[in-house]
A and B are shown apart, each in its own frame.
Chain A
Amino acid sequence: MANTPAQLDKVVIRFAGDSGDGMQLTGDRFTSETAALGNDLSTLPNFPAEIRAPSGTLPGVSSFQLHFADHDVLTPGDAPDVLVAMNPAALKANLADVPRGATIIVNTDEFSRRNLAKVGYTTNPIEDGSLDSWQVRPVALTSITVEALAEFESLTRKEKERAKNMFALGLLSWMFTRPTAGTEAFLKSKFSDKPDILAANLAALYAGLHYGETTEEFAHRYEVAPAAAPAGTYRNITGNTALAYGFVAASHRSGLPLVLGSYPITPASDILHVLAGLKRYGVMTLQAEDEIGGIGMALGAAFGGALGLTTTSGPGIALKSETIGLAAALELPLVIVDVQRGGPSTGLPTKTEQSDLLQAMFGRNGESPVPIVAPQSPADCFDIAMEAVRIATTYRTPVFVLSDGYLANGSEPWRVPSARDLPDLKVEFTTEPNATDDGGEPVFYPYQRDPETLARPWVAPGTPGLEHRIGGIEKANLTGDISYDPDNHDLMVRLRAAKVAGITVPGIEVDDPTGDAEVLVLGWGSTYGPIAAAVREARSLGLSVARAHLRHLNPFPANLGEVLRSYSRVLVPEMNTGQLALLLRAEYLVDVQSVNQVRGLPFTISELVEAITTAVDAGSASPAAATVGAVR
């Protein structure tokens, strides 16, 4: 061993390269090694919408950022401490995010005149002094990898070059003292039927490790100690996988078979992929002809007594709207997952945004209230899936889950619950008449409501004696027969609204350690991590600031109005132009202040700290002058 590793409390690494360079895989593996070590972590992949943009170009750059620490990590980190740039395009696309003084590892082999020209470099930045304020570590990654694989005669040069990401992984694993056993096992199972490729990848990985150990350039090694975390078994999990598992768990705990009707769409398709592989758990996945077909199949299954689920992103919701309205009228349980992405229209398919909140809230014809929940972190996607199913089945209603691209692909450690300890979601189907008619005879009324939840009975076809018809035409209260009666319609609209408004949701908790804060930062969904990190930093700067986070957006927690009114200023950061703020102002007449950005990326901690500082300062100067900078 060259030397004793230096201790760091946190590190942010960004792997960047061409789409074909395997950066997502490299990042995944490094993450897994880091998780195995017991660091807390958070990840953010960032990839182009094009499957294979022309190689070496800026649009083709794909990256993966990982933040790991010896304490709890809330975001993937604003700025990388280490950038691995596999080509000039990766350097150019990412340099602006890398603070001066940070380390940049560049693959010099790719810095040919041609590749430099492709991205508009007239001189080679590695040589022209323009990177002097960074610690540049030039490594001929490609050629060293090819050389290390010289003995593999059966492989072409191209195939050997492809292993350079494993070389990079080996090198970084050495630098940050990561164990590689997990990666070795992963490669063995991935290439079990291609022994040559397996051997080459392992050789490249080891070559990277040895290179770090033997090269002066990398004399420094670092260590990040494990983070303190509650006892338990942990794994790393992405938001999309956690959602899929949450629905399987809900199916298990409710006793209802899970039926997913879905149409492929970025960034939601992975939920379909994961669930399609879980047939062993009785999961049925139907890839439909279109978005409408997907939700139609889910609704048909729900009518049959199954747990109906459909998964999509914003454009898909636009297409499903009419069926969501039908589900609201039929009052059948159904879960609709919207993994939000940049909009409008096709927008930014691979980038994140929170701009479907109002679509979920109001995007249907008529008075059509639908409950909405939103996960706050990748691991929370598991719990939110179960919560959505609880609401759907208890209240017999469609329910929206608003995730987003950042949560979908981002990952963090998750303390794995035990199946036995998960919430009980058992469902009671109605099998007997539930009323008596005028003549005193027992009858079944499909729209007779539970006095507490206002839910109507759920009867699966096949139940003798309860045959009935339901539909999208307005129904007479109780009997469910077609009714065009004005008073009945007024009543039914109000009943459906009251049912959704009356859903029991947990109260919102406020994190206000000093109790004297005047500024409350309120977020929803995936802004949880950036807001919590920013608030932590603001407090370390001596600012007094409170924080609260919404996981339920319709209905809001019962105590929300009271919480909002107890602070003189409320900041609402959102990756949209102020959708939650609009709802809060309408509902509570509180003059909340929006903090917005729609760059397709999560908030940086620094921009939120700046907004918080401005709001706190505004209080000490003059409460009225809070409209500065990012705050509007």
Chain B
Amino acid sequence: MTSHVTDLGMPRSGVADVPTLGEGQLPLTKKDFTSDQEVRWCPGCGDYAVLAAVQGFLPELGLRRENIVFVSGIGCSSRFPYYLDTYGMHSIHGRAPAIATGLATSRPDLSVWVVTGDGDALSIGGNHLIHALRRNVNITILLFNNKIYGLTKGQYSPTSETGTITKSTPMGSVDTPFNPLSLALGAEATFVARTMDSDRAHLTEVLRAAASHRGAAFVEIYQNCPIFNDGAFQLIKDRDSQAARLVKLVHGEPVSAGTENDRQVLVREPNGSVTFVPEAEAAGRPVVIHDATDPNPTAAFALSRLDDGTMAHVPMGIFRSISRPTNDDLVREQIATAVESAGRPSDDTALDALLRGNDTWTVE
């Protein structure tokens, strides 16, 4: 995987205001981010790999450990904060984006992460998720998508394919699933990416880009649940089958799938839709060059729709990374402007003036 996806010319880093380790301080290691709590996911759960990748990646940020906060909701993945030796809150079902919004807006010196799952973020907490994205709060949201409810023991989730047979859908689910990336793009997200639990290198790459994005970074992580939905992503995990199916997005390069001898490229049809064609047939046709920074989300949306659920073509990487003022920066800016135009920070005199107002009378 090429590495230039991480530098898309963003004006300010997502962690620009977070204190870094001082000169002479030893860099932190994975061990520094490992808490003393026994990890209690099922054996083989994809969450282990994501945890290891995050613990391995965090030292790279060079931030002070005490200025990193993980906030989660409810679900298997939401146990995540307990296993990281940072500040953390394991909150309630679906509400982590709202809690993180209050925290990130009032504390620009913190690097705030949300860990959530498909049920947590897309069902019970759907409203908080879309509004955090549209506001573009400076937080990083990791959505572990295993397409099933794990903690409640195996009911279908809002990303389960239609027809999925579970305890609550013995005759198959009749619901149409959400496409998390399409949803995020529709919610005006400024950073949208997808990666997979088992691809440590790619996961780390995406984490790096997400952390440095100023604004709400939305990362969908395909995560295997060996207990209730084993093999949900097997087609793109098996070496044999993945080559033709995985579409690794690289900014500035044609969108393609397959191996050198059998490459397919994405071309734009006259009606605006996109299709894969064998490379040999692409000559003279408008090949789609991936531009994650395109202010218009149309192309990113088309990419998010490439997988129709059959996993014939599954794009991985950064779909969109654009710059838009963040909500928390703007909120703080308004306060700073108001304080500045008042001439000085609030003090006793200023408070007295407020309490009195303009319409007082005196009793002797």
Interface residues of A, Cβ cutoff 8 Å to B: 32, 35-36, 38, 182, 226, 229-236, 245, 248-249, 252, 257, 259, 261, 278-284, 286, 288-290, 292-294, 296-306, 308, 322-323, 326, 330, 416-420, 461-473, 481-482
Contacts and interface: CB of A to CB of B under 8 A. Distances in A.
Nearest to A332: B89
Contacts of A292: 95, 98, 127-128
5 contacts: A233-B362, A304-B106, A330-B89, A419-B351, A462-B110
Contacts of B85: 467
B66 interface: yes
Contact of B102 (A283, A299, A471): A299
Contacts of B284: none
A297 B82 contact: no
Interface in B76-110: 81-82, 84-92, 95, 98-107, 109-110
Given A249-B351, A300-B100, A464-B66, A326 B363 contact: no
B106 A306 contact: yes
B202 to A, nearest CB: 28
B2 interface: no
B65 A467 contact: yes
Contact of A416 (B19, B346, B350, B356): B356
Contacts of A481: 37
A304 B88 CA distance: 11
B345 interface: yes
Contacts of B345: 282
A472 B92 contact: yes
Contacts of A482: 37, 82
Contact of B348 (A32, A420, A463): A420
A24 B357 CA distance: 20
Interface centre among B64, B103, B357 (most CB of A within 10 A): B103
A471 B89 contact: yes
Nearest to B129: A289
Which 10 pairs between the two chains have the least Cβ-Cβ distance? A471-B90, A300-B102, A296-B98, A297-B102, A279-B338, A289-B131, A300-B103, A300-B99, A461-B87, A469-B88
B171 interface: no
Contact of B89 (A233, A279, A303, A322): A303
A35 B66 CA distance: 53
- Residues of B contacting A: mostly: helix
Interface string B120-151: 00000001101100000000000000000000
B355 interface: yes
Nearest to A252: B351
A596 to B, nearest CB: 36
Given A278-B354, A289-B131, A469-B89, A304 B103 contact: yes
B68 to A, nearest CB: 8
A249 B86 CA distance: 33
Interface string B322-340: 0000000001101101110
Nearest to B35: A469
Given A36-B359, A281-B354, A418-B352, A259 B98 contact: no
Nearest to A296: B98
A280 B338 contact: yes
Contacts, number: 208
B93 to A, nearest CB: 8
B102 A416 contact: no
A284 B95 contact: no
Contacts of A248: 351, 354
Given A280-B346, A416-B355, A481-B37, A298 B102 contact: yes
A504 to B, nearest CB: 26
B338 A326 contact: no
Contact of A472 (B66, B88, B90): B90
B364 interface: yes
Contacts of A279: 334-335, 337-339
Contacts of B89: 303, 330, 469-471
A629 B74 CA distance: 53
B171 to A, nearest CB: 32
B71 to A, nearest CB: 7
Contacts of B352: 416, 418-419
A78 to B, nearest CB: 27
Given A301-B103, A464-B66, A235 B351 contact: no
Contacts of B130: 289
Nearest to A414: B355
A87 B99 CA distance: 50
Contacts of A471: 81-82, 88-91
A461 B98 contact: no
Given A233-B356, A284-B331, A286-B105, A469 B64 contact: no
A305 B103 CA distance: 9
Nearest to A182: B359
A287 B37 CA distance: 37
Interface of B: 19, 35, 37, 64-67, 69, 71, 74, 81-82, 84-92, 95, 98-107, 109-110, 127-128, 130-131, 331-332, 334-335, 337-339, 341-342, 345-346, 348-352, 354-357, 359-364
Given A248-B354, A279-B334, A416-B355, A296 B363 contact: no
Contact of A469 (B82, B103, B127): B82
Nearest to A185: B358
A416 B105 CA distance: 33
A286 B351 contact: no
Given A38-B363, A230-B363, A326-B91, A462 B37 contact: no
A419 B106 contact: no
Contacts of A245: 354-355
A411 B345 CA distance: 30
Contact of A234 (B84, B354, B363): B363
Given A286-B101, A304-B110, A472-B91, 5 more contacts: A226-B363, A235-B359, A296-B98, A419-B349, A464-B66
Nearest to A472: B92
B127 A293 contact: yes
A418 B355 CA distance: 8
B109 to A, nearest CB: 6
A182 B334 CA distance: 32
A311 B33 CA distance: 37
A228 B147 CA distance: 72
A293 B128 contact: yes
Contact of A462 (B91, B92, B109): B109
Given A303-B89, A461-B110, A467 B105 contact: no
Contact of A464 (B64, B69, B350): B64
Contacts of B92: 322-323, 326, 472
A279 B354 CA distance: 12
Contact of B351 (A229, A281, A304, A462): A281
B355 A249 contact: yes
Contacts of A278: 354
Contacts of A303: 89, 99, 102-103
A586 B207 CA distance: 56
B98 A293 contact: yes
Contact of A257 (B95, B106, B364): B106
A196 B129 CA distance: 49
A244 to B, nearest CB: 10
Contacts of A249: 351, 355
A79 B98 CA distance: 48
Contacts of B335: 279, 282-284
Contact of A296 (B82, B90, B101, B339): B101
A379 to B, nearest CB: 11
A465 B32 CA distance: 11
Given A182-B359, A286-B331, A470-B90, A296 B128 contact: yes
B351 to A, nearest CB: 4
Contact of A35 (B69, B348, B359): B359
A473 B107 contact: no
B87 A293 contact: no
B129 to A, nearest CB: 10
Given A282-B339, A300-B101, A462-B67, A232 B362 contact: yes
